Amino acid sequence: MASAADQLAANINLGVFSKATELKRRIWYTLGMLIVYRMGTFITLPGIDPAVMADIIKTQSRGVLGMFDVLAGGALSRMSIFALNIMPYISASIILQLMSSVNPALENMKKEGVSGRIKINQYTRYLTVAITGLQALGIASGLESATGTNGALAVMNPGVFFKFTTVITLVGGTMFLVWLGEQINERGIGQGISLLIFAGIVAGIPGAIANTLELGRTGAISPFVIIFLGLGSVAVIAFIVFVELAQRRVLVQYPKRQQGNKVFGGESSHLPLKINTAGVIPPIFASSLLLLPLTIAGFQQKGSGEGILNTIGVLLGRGQPLYLVLYSVLIVFFGFFYTAVMFNPTETAESLRKFGGFIPGIRPGKNTAEHIDYVLTRLTTVGGIYLIIVCLLPEILISRLSVPFYFGGTSLMIVVNVVLNTMQQIQGHLLAHQYEGLLKKSRLRGRK
């Protein structure tokens, strides 16, 4: 049976797209906003030596800074006004989502509808400013003592004024990106915040491919390895698409009811449950937690001796058995944790009971909640295995094959998910435009 996306695509042709002026306007607007974002990643912070900063980030390319720089589209290595990217806003959103599950006031606010979402969005912005300010102050303090491999200082004129301008600039840059993402949501196509991260990741792909081909030309990497990487990337992308579109459809039946001489209801529906409910959150949390000791150890001053952080850094190096095991365990843990926060089987069962729906063979109420929880647990287990496969394969390639760039499973999943979501929205706009044209034709025929 063809998927919903295939059925939508079958109803769409180039002729419909050429007439969909509103959709074309939205696409051009989105592209314009992404160009503005990319231009901002090349505007360096005042008082920073870009060459020294790029050298510092290069030495930490295997740590959390390297992963963050990939997500920021190189803005961190250039220490631009968008160096913190949109990550503080994502952190604030996740914190409020977690708090809403334990705070009754926030939970009730989520149930208020549009007004509640507006309040939560406002609180998210306030929290984003606070998180960005703290991170910017830490970056400014760290940059004043940072030196490149040749001993040159990254900051030309350190002092209070440098810290003040850095904090103001980074906070302003992050909040501008938040506004940019909201404008894309309202006037463009796709999810604005995700598209900004997507643009940052994709911007680094051409350079990474060029570096890989150059290493193949010089003999540093075997041509067979390059071919294997290309075919492997296509296979992994196909695997991600297959799993992300896969659903477990739980059958829901609605009883018949009679009003006068008419019979209503009696139809059947389904409750769609994704295999990977948590999305890319588990790999992001697991990577940040494991790579933090490596980054701290890398910033230790030379000559300070072998400390506990250096030992941990060796044990948790990319491709090491302990790193792979802990990474897998943390991915599964955060997968179950975030799924439990985002999906409440009890609330779903109660909602079905209110509307008269029931799962065939399962009693409404508590038994329905237990059945949904049982199905969701099995799906989350399969989703955890899927995340482990997708995320560990690039880690092994990076450590064993000496791949000259960091483009892990997390980045690949973000790119694929954003493309799928954007294509579904475009197909929805085209389908709506097609139906709108049919309605206009029917009205004209009716007048005749």
CATH of the domain at 179: 1.10.3370.10
Over residues 362-384, the mean pLDDT reads: 88
Q: Which long-range contacts (CB under 8 A, 24 or more apart) does 213-222 make?
A: 215/404, 221/401, 221/402, 221/404
Residues 155 and 69 in one domain: yes
User: What number is the average pLDDT over the span 391-405?
Assistant: 67
List all residues 6 or more positions away from 111 whose beta carbon is below 8 Å from its beta carbon: none
Instruction: Say whether both 116 and 150 belong to one domain.
Output: yes
More confident residue, 160 or 74: 160
| Positive or negative torsion for Cα 377, 380, 384, 385 | positive
Mean pLDDT comparison of 13-17, 95-99, 253-257, highest-scoring range: 95-99
pLDDT band at residue 302 using 50, 70 and 90 as cut-offs: very low
Average pLDDT of the residues in 77-95: 84
Q: Which of 193, 220, 247 is the last residue of a domain?
A: 220
Same domain, 154 and 68: yes
Q: Do 257 and 352 share a structural domain?
A: yes
Let me know if residue 267 belongs to a domain: yes
Report if residue 197 sits inside a domain.
yes
Indicate whether 36 belongs to any domain.
yes
Please say which residue of 164, 199, 220 terminates a domain: 220
Which of 6-10, 253-257, 414-418 is least confident? 6-10
Residue 76 has pLDDT above 80, yes or no: no
Q: What confidence tier does 312 reach under pLDDT thresholds 50, 70, 90?
A: low
pLDDT over 80 at 445, yes or no? no
pLDDT at 407: 60
Nearest-angstrom CA–CA distance, 362 and 87: 43
Q: Are residues 56 and 143 in the same domain?
A: yes
* pLDDT tier for residue 305 given thresholds of 50, 70 and 90: very low
Structural domain includes residue 11: no
pLDDT over 70, % of the chain: 77
CA distance 253 to 160: 66
Residue 6, in any domain of the structure: no
414: in domain: no
CA angle 116, 121, 123 (to 5 degrees): 95
Of 167, 197, 220, the one marking the end of a domain is 220
Q: Which whole number is the average pLDDT over 285-289?
A: 72
Does the pLDDT of residue 112 top 90, yes or no? no
Give 228-241 pLDDT, tens digit per residue. 878 878 888 888 88
pLDDT on residue 35: 92
The pLDDT, as a whole number, for residue 174 is 92
Mean pLDDT throughout 428-435?
A: 73
Predicted confidence band of residue 259 (pLDDT cuts 50, 70, 90): low
Domain that holds residue 27: 19-220
- CA angle at residue 28 from 22 to 33, to 5 degrees? 125
Task: Output the six-digit token pair for 179.
Answer: 């506004």
Across 289-312, average pLDDT: 55
* pLDDT of res. 304: 44
Please tell me whether residues 147 and 239 are part of one structural domain: no
For the residues 296-325, what does the mean pLDDT come to? 61
Give me the chain's average pLDDT, please.
Answer: 78
Residues 159, 239, single domain; the answer is no
Q: Is residue 9 in a domain?
A: no
Same domain, 345 and 329: yes
Summarize the confidence of residues 354-377 as an average pLDDT.
Answer: 85
Q: What is the pTM of this model?
A: 0.77
* The total number of structural domains that make up the chain: 2
- State the average pLDDT over residues 25-46: 90
Cα separation, 29 vs 389, in Å, equals 37
The answer on pLDDT for 8 being more than 50 is no
Residues 326 and 397 in one domain: yes
pLDDT in tens, 172-226: 999 999 999 999 988 888 888 888 888 888 888 887 788 778 878 887 777 887 8
Residue 405 is predicted with a pLDDT of 54
- Residue 295, pLDDT above cutoff 70: no
Asked if 210 and 227 sit in the same domain, the reply is no
Burial 27-40 (b: 16+ CB within 10 A, else e): bebbeebbeebbeb
77, 102: one domain: yes
> In this predicted structure, what is the pLDDT of residue 406?
56
Are 148 and 257 part of one and the same domain?
no
Any domain includes 272: yes
Q: What is the pLDDT of residue 444?
A: 52
Q: Which residues of 297-308 are buried (b: 16+ CB within 10 A; e: fewer)?
A: bbeeeeeeeeee
